[in-house]
């Protein structure tokens, strides 16, 4: 059974190679999409090459809607996007992948049924297919080399869909198993280093000592140390002192 997550339906129009259908299923499921529709696949249905390629996402093929033509595929849809690489002589809104999936998310939140059309590998959608869509999606590729294949195009739309619904933060900090060091931890580390380095004659000449200490303190702060880092750095200094006191070299 497909998940009941609200989502657009991805419609592969007259796809040719089974491998590409399977790769498209994998690309969809990577981003949590599992409503595939296959319109008039060239090599019939089910397609063993598609099944072989889809490993791990084969369920999407088993549950795919099979339609004889595009009107049948779209009979339950209220808004349709067509992905096209080249401009058409048709008057239509043209969305970026981001803009399109943002609009799709809004429409779906309002209970609409949204489809995204992907054309056959060689030539893409025909104008007659595009004329059935409410809007066009164009991926901003290098004009000198626009060679996205079917599964790559599906992948980018899936990625943008997930970005729109998941609101991924642009940056977070992963702490591993660590905790951030507190101000007190850092102060103790600074004091430890200053004491030993003073003993060792590091802060020389005396008129530069304060400036050198400030640079050092700034380094620790800028690094944002964890407690484990602080322990490691204490250990480094203790060991240097131990080594010095052992008198060997």
Positions that interact with a second copy (CB under 8 A): 26-27, 29-32, 56-57, 87-96, 98-99, 102-103, 136, 139-142, 144-148, 152, 155-156, 159, 162-163, 166, 168-178, 226, 229
d(CA 233, CA 241): 13
- Residue 209 Cβ, how far from a second copy at the closest point, in Å? 31
Nearest to a second copy of 176, 201 (CB atom): 176
Collapsing DSSP to helix, strand or coil, 228 comes out as helix
Encoded tokens for 7: 């989502």
Count the neighbouring beta carbons within 10 Å of the beta carbon of residue 241: 14
- Residue 196 Cβ, how far from a second copy at the closest point, in Å? 25
Nearest to a second copy of 11, 136 (CB atom): 136
Please give the torsion angle defined by the CA atoms of residues 81, 84, 86 and 87, in that order, rounded to the nearest 10 degrees: -10
| 36 close to 60: Cβ distance less than 8 angstroms | yes
Nearest to a second copy of 73, 80 (CB atom): 80
Nearest to a second copy of 91, 184 (CB atom): 91
Burial of 192 (0-12, 13-18, 19+ CB in 10 A): middle
Nearest to a second copy of 51, 72 (CB atom): 51
- Residue 43 Cβ, how far from a second copy at the closest point, in Å? 23
- Residue 125 Cβ, how far from a second copy at the closest point, in Å? 14
Place of tokens 């099979």: 66
- Residue 126 Cβ, how far from a second copy at the closest point, in Å? 15
d(CA 156, CA 140): 11
């Amino acid at each position: 059974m497909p998940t009941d997550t609200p989502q657009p339906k991805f419609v592969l129009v007259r796809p040719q190679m089974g491998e590409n259908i399977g790769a498209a299923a994998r690309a969809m499921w990577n981003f949590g999409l599992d409503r595939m529709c296959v319109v008039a696949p060239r090599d019939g249905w089910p397609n063993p090459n598609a099944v072989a390629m889809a490993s791990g996402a084969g369920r999407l093929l088993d549950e795919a809607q099979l339609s004889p033509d595009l009107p049948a595929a779209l009979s339950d849809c209220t808004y349709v996007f067509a992905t096209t690489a080249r401009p058409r002589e048709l008057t239509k809104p043209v969305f970026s992948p981001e803009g399109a999936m943002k609009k799709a998310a809004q429409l779906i939140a309002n209970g609409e049924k949204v489809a995204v059309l992907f054309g056959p590998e060689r030539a893409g959608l025909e104008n007659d297919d595009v004329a059935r869509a409410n809007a066009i999606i164009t991926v901003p590729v290098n004009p000198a080399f626009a060679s996205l294949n079917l599964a790559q195009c599906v992948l980018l739309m899936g990625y943008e869909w997930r970005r729109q619904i998941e609101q991924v933060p642009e940056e977070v900090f992963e702490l591993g198993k660590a905790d951030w060091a507190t101000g007190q931890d850092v102060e103790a580390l600074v004091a430890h280093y200053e004491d030993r380095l003073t003993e060792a004659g590091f802060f020389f000449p005396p008129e530069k000592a304060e400036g050198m200490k400030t640079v050092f303190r700034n380094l620790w702060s800028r690094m944002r140390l964890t407690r484990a880092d602080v322990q490691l750095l204490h250990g480094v200094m203790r060991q240097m002192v131990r080594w010095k006191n052992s008198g060997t070299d």
